[in-house]
Amino acid sequence: MKKALKKMMVDMTAKLLQQPSIEQQLDDNARHCAQSLPALINLVSPYASKHAQFTPVTSERDDIVFITSRFRSGSTLLWNLFRQTPDCSAYYEPFNERQWFNEHMRGDNVDNTHRGVDDYWAEYNGLNQLSDTYNEDWIRKSLYMSAQSWDPQMKRFIEQMIEAAPGRPVLQFNRIDFRLPWVKHHFPNAKIVHLFRHPRDQWCSFLTDQQLMNKDDVHNTYQDAFYLDVWCRDLAKHYPVLDKINTPHPYQRFYYLWKLSYLHGLAFSDLSLSFENLTSAPKTVISDMFTALNMDTNKVEPLVGVIKAPPAERWRKYADENWFAQHEYICEQNLSLMLEERSITDPER
């Protein structure tokens, strides 16, 4: 009955869209949206005051730090390093649906894999006004944003945290890797730190039950816990390899997303760090990072003790080299075809 009703509705909609007046309206709308706008430069008005003094706008501050990283890549650790650094105010995952600024929504649980972290929200206390500009759709829609994308609400949401921060504002995101062109355009003087992790270990950290989602059954048993399916659905219109129809195997979709995120990070960040280097040589990596951010390297030593390196190459317990390599080879071949060996910064993209 449900299938018959669904088919009837689809048929009715198809017939409606075939009506000449509807087709004409759709064609007109498509042509209207496709029209190229003239290349205009916002020149100074001849009537503008030449002597007025204004406070520099928040988005142009040069002390802002954005951290961008995928889920389960060590971003909480990197955030915690800044949190433990004097003169920094480190905000944890601002777009998170738990809404750290809302004490009625955020709850009190903390992931037990986040060592040395008792809460995620202390920096948000007193920032109830963020509720007025927060939009939960940011976690699942418009995950790709070009420099010209229009979302003044998102910009204002970020600015409010920057303005409220005592000391240097550091904002750690897991949801801006494909929005970095927009971030860089709207916060031109900020520094962007990109953190990445070996995809095989990150994949294993993605899986909440490795016995259920083992290498032989994961094609059928995969259960999404870290937004892989959500991201792929939204981004597939830009990168078709992410569509489940084109890529049914979850590890391949994961790898595509990892690699595209990695390429965006390299293209649009000021500094890229590997999780493996951070945990194996923390003093060197943190010192180099602080130097790049014009921060005091004398404050590095106490931070080294915050880092506890996890066992290396956990992925070997999940599957052998050949299993991963075969999937990754397919992905790399298709990525080369899709990207046409063009830079990810190509203006046509």
Residue 29: pLDDT band (50, 70, 90) is low
**pLDDT on residue 1:** 66
- Strands (DSSP E) found in 188-247: 191-196
Nearest of 317, 321, 327 to residue 254 by alpha carbon: 327
Q: Say how many C-beta atoms besides its own lie within 10 A of residue 7's C-beta.
A: 10
CA–CA distances in Å: residue 201 to residues 24, 194, 204, 317:
52, 18, 5, 10
| Token pair recorded at residue 76 | 């909480």
- Which pLDDT does position 111 carry in this prediction? 80
DSSP 32-90: HHHPPPP----PPPTTS-SS---PPPGGG-SS-EEEEE-TTSSHHHHHHHHHTSTTEEE
Q: Lowest mean pLDDT: which of 24-28, 58-62, 219-223?
A: 24-28
End-to-end Cα spacing for the chain: 44
User: Mean pLDDT over all residues of the chain?
Assistant: 90
228-235 average pLDDT score: 95
DSSP β-bridge partners for residue 88: 168
- Which tokens hold the place of 264? 């965006």
Instruction: Give the pLDDT score at 343.
Output: 47
Q: Is CATH 3.30.70 what the domain over 58-339 is classified as, yes or no?
A: no
- The closest alpha carbon to 77, from 275, 299, 244, 343, belongs to 275
- Give 340's pLDDT tier (boundaries 50, 70, 90): confident
Q: Is 168 helix (H, G, I), strand (E, B) or coil?
A: strand
Q: pLDDT tens digits for 57-67?
A: 999 999 999 99
> Could you tell me the two tokens for 268?
């649009």
pLDDT score of 346 more than 60: no
> Mean pLDDT throughout 74-93?
95
Which of 37-46, 90-99, 178-187, 264-273 comes out lowest in average pLDDT?
37-46
On the question of pLDDT at 225 being above 90, the answer is no
- Per-residue pLDDT band at 32 (split at 50, 70, 90): low
Lowest mean pLDDT among 161-165, 176-180, 306-310: 306-310
In eight-state DSSP terms, residue 310 is P
pLDDT of residue 349: 42
Distance CA 7, CA 116 (A): 54
| Residue 97 phi, psi (nearest 5) | -70, -10
β partners of residue 196 = 274
pLDDT, tens digit, for every residue of 193-217?
999 999 999 999 989 999 999 999 9
Residue 348 has pLDDT above 50, yes or no: no
Lowest mean pLDDT among 60-64, 66-70, 223-227: 223-227
The structure's pTM equals 0.85
- Distance of alpha carbon 98 from alpha carbon 121, whole angstroms: 10
What pLDDT band is residue 272 in, cutting at 50, 70 and 90? Answer: very high
- pLDDT number for residue 344: 46
Is 295 or 110 the better-scoring residue by pLDDT?
A: 295
Residue 218 pLDDT: 95
Q: Which of 5-14, 73-82, 287-296 has the lowest mean pLDDT?
A: 5-14
Token couple for 206 = 């993605």
Percent of the chain residues past pLDDT 70, beyond the cut:
89
Dihedral sign computed on CA atoms, order 237, 239, 242, 243: positive
